[in-house]
Amino acid sequence: MSTIPRRPLSAVLPALLALLAAVLFAAVPTASARTEAVPTATLTEVTGFGTNPSNLQMYLYVPANVTAHPAVVVAVHYCTGSGPAMYNGTEWAQLADTYGFVVIYPSVTRSSKCFDVSSPQALKRGGGSDPVGIKSMIDWTVNAYSADTARIYATGISSGAMMTNVLLGDYPDVFAAGAAFSGVPFGCFATTDGSEWNSACSGGTITHTPQEWGDLVRAAYPGYTGTRPRMQVWHGTEDDVLRYPNFGEEIKEWTNVLGVSQTPAATDSPVSGWTRTRYGATGDRAPVEAISLQGVGHNLYSWGMADRALTFFGLNAGGPAPEPQPGACKVTATTNAWNTGLTASVTVTNTGTTTVNGWKLAFTLPTGQTITNGWGVTYSPASGAVTATNAAYNGTIAPNASVSIGYQANHSGNSAAPGGFTLNGASCTSG
């Protein structure tokens, strides 16, 4: 192992600085990394951490006040960067000092200093290349510090943001959440010719349906049916390296993977020029959160953003509990029409395994229909994209239980039933 001082010394004679550095490096233990804990409050390179097919380096920061069974954050650098550069250029180590978690800084040794997010090996669980090496770093850290395997997170900038997408796709059972700053969707950068760069993706010209994006993620770990990690994505509207359309494609991908509506459950502007949308829930730990920065280019990351990612992860003291992801649902809708009017009957069934407490059913009325009155819920607005909010007496839906509601509406010739149902942001099947 080798250690890197956390802060550069200043106003010290060069000779003394060289002497101190020599003493520091001479004092580093040379025993097997797997059998010794690393020094605290300093960045340390760990060697021999496990399977590492692409020869990544592992740097680790353990705060002096590391908690028992700590959380782990994997902080992934940008192209031309390194683990130490990520350590010095972001506040993850300072946040670790405050909250007691451990930070892993993977570091690329190939000449480009970019992570492999392109090869078939990288886009498959256990397929080889960088993701396998990073997973070994996590395993080593979990073993060395009895880390909490339910609180492992990934974050990255640019190439590291792309790797964050890849890690969450390859290892959904490992990560609780990710935060990607200026990245692209999982699978967007895929190549088969050995190239690390995909110009179509970087240019923002690769688009897919949400289902197609989601299928790419699911194909990385076929047969996996467990919980998927939450995702936070950041992008500048003037990004000239990984163009802004990639931001929308990431949202499509992860809302599909997490089974929530692409219609935001909440929209706000926490900072002037920022637009934040949340999908599937409204709080700080929604399934998907997206932050768009107006007029900002590729190098959007600035001090303080990691703290916002930490809030999304839920690692800051006093943070809110995670909002439950919406359960599965099924909706049956029928209409009984006459000349210019109709009556609609809608049955909502909770097909999930947990009770729904308080609900909103969103749907779209056919063109030309306007609700004139209804029962069981409050409808707003009366046409177009409608939200039905539960009444006081039917706000709880137990697993496998149903609630029936209805309305009367005028129509101009199209008396079809509504469609596109979502319950608390989760897409419902129709039956």
Whole-angstrom Cα distance, residue 253 to residue 209?
Answer: 8
Contact 154, 167 (CB under 8 A): yes
In Å, how far from its chain's centre is CA 51? 26
Contact 2, 44 (CB under 8 A): yes
Nearest Cα to 108, choosing from 162, 42, 187? Answer: 162
Partnered with residue 61 across adjacent β-strands are 43, 103
The answer to whether 269 is a known catalytic residue is no
Whole-angstrom Cα distance, residue 364 to residue 419?
Answer: 5
Contact 245, 251 (CB under 8 A): no
Of 54, 107, 119, 158, the active-site residue reads 158
Q: DSSP letter at 260?
A: B
Whole-angstrom Cα distance, residue 359 to residue 378?
Answer: 11
Q: Which two tokens stand for residue 35?
A: 């059998």
Helix (H, G, I), strand (E, B) or coil at 164: helix
Whole-angstrom Cα distance, residue 231 to residue 411?
Answer: 41
Whole-angstrom Cα distance, residue 321 to residue 54?
Answer: 38
Whole-angstrom Cα distance, residue 380 to residue 362?
Answer: 10
Q: DSSP letter at 273?
A: T
Helix H or strand E segment including 174: none
Q: DSSP letter at 176?
A: S
| Sign of CA pseudo-dihedral 301, 236, 129, 255 | positive
Residues carrying an active site annotation? 158
